[in-house]
């Protein structure tokens, strides 16, 4: 018992001494990991009977309020809102992770090469990236969604384009600063190849801001994905996606059917808050991206 009390007091004292940034990161990480766990285990919950198929139409059970049988109620088509809300986290993570990795995998190498080589290539890339950066992200995603069509991969492409300039600008600016350091000049004087300088001496010194951008862009991408779904773009109608479900629920809201709006909207908001808190905590820990 004494050991247990000691451990509890130790953890309590550590929590009291933790800074606001650390607490923000922990809370944001906990929320994010909760949604990741829901996304991973949703098929298992369905297999053991805790969840219903989110695409199944329940006969004579449309717009039923929350109950023991349907915890979040049903929508106007007879879908179980609880199942669609949980599966919505899976769809959101699939699209958002794919979109952020696509933008990161494009923007980081371009920024690294542009900042290191400079010259005409740097000017051309900087012009194109600044042009994309000035366009509103949601408007650009809507336009691209019309062009590429619906689907998980297509939605990820539509989201990723607007985030590439952010990775490019941060990595490029830090590369321009770091490449003049003595250890980089020493490596070049000793005959290190460009690839060695880029991968061993520059990349590891400019990559620290990327996790911050990744989490903040992921939070923004969830909102943009929800906006595309609300407009009827991005993903097919049968896919459980929070923005699409909010669009379908909107006409029923004046009639008192509140649950079809509340739960998908709350899930989207909570996930965005969790990722934003995690990103802001990392931002304050590692410093503001340049």
Task: Please spell the DSSP secondary structure of 76-104, one letter per residue.
Answer: TT--BHHHHHHHHHHHHHHHHHHHHHHHH
286 pLDDT band, cuts 50/70/90, is low
Q: Are 234 and 155 in contact (CB under 8 A)?
A: yes
**pTM for the complete prediction?**
0.84
pLDDT in tens, 95-145: 999 999 999 999 999 999 998 888 899 899 999 999 998 888 888 888 898
Burial of 274 (0-12, 13-18, 19+ CB in 10 A): buried
Q: Domain 19-52+70-286, what architecture? A: Orthogonal Bundle (1.10)
Q: What is the pLDDT of residue 22?
A: 79
- 80 backbone dihedrals φ, ψ, rounded to 5°: -75, 115
Name 80's bridge partners. 74
Q: What is the pLDDT of residue 30?
A: 94
Region of residue 65 (phi > 0: left; psi between -120 and 50: alpha; otherwise: beta): beta
Candidate from 107-116, 172-181, 262-271 with smallest mean pLDDT: 172-181
Break the chain into its structural domains and give their ranges. Answer: 19-52+70-286
């Amino acid at each position: 018992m004494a050991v247990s009390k000691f451990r509890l007091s130790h953890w309590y004292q550590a929590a009291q001494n933790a800074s606001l940034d650390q607490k923000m990161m922990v809370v944001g990480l906990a929320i994010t990991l909760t949604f990741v766990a829901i996304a991973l285990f949703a098929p298992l919950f369905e297999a053991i009977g805790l969840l219903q198929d989110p695409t199944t139409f329940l006969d004579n059970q449309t717009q039923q309020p929350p109950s023991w049988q349907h915890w979040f109620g049903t929508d106007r088509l007879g879908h179980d809102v609880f199942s669609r809300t949980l599966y919505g986290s899976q769809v959101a993570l699939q699209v958002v992770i794919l979109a952020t990795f696509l933008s990161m995998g494009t923007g980081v190498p371009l920024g690294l090469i542009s900042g290191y080589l400079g010259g005409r290539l740097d000017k051309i890339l900087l012009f194109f990236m600044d042009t994309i950066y000035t366009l509103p992200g949601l408007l650009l995603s809507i336009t691209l969604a019309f062009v590429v069509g619906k689907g998980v991969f297509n939605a990820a492409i539509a989201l990723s384009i607007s985030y590439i300039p952010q990775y490019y600008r941060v990595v490029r600016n830090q590369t321009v600063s770091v490449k003049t350091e003595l250890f980089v000049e020493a490596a070049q004087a000793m005959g290190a190849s460009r690839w060695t300088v880029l991968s061993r001496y520059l990349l590891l010194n400019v990559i620290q801001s990327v996790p911050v951008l990744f989490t903040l862009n992921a939070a923004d991408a969830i909102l943009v994905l929800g906006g595309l779904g609300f407009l009827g773009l991005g993903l097919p109608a049968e896919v459980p996606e929070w923005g699409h479900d909010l669009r379908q629920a909107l006409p029923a809201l004046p009639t008192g059917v509140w649950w079809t709006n509340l739960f998908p909207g709350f899930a989207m908001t909570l996930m965005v808050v969790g990722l934003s808190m995690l990103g802001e905590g990392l931002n304050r820990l590692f410093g503001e991206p340049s």
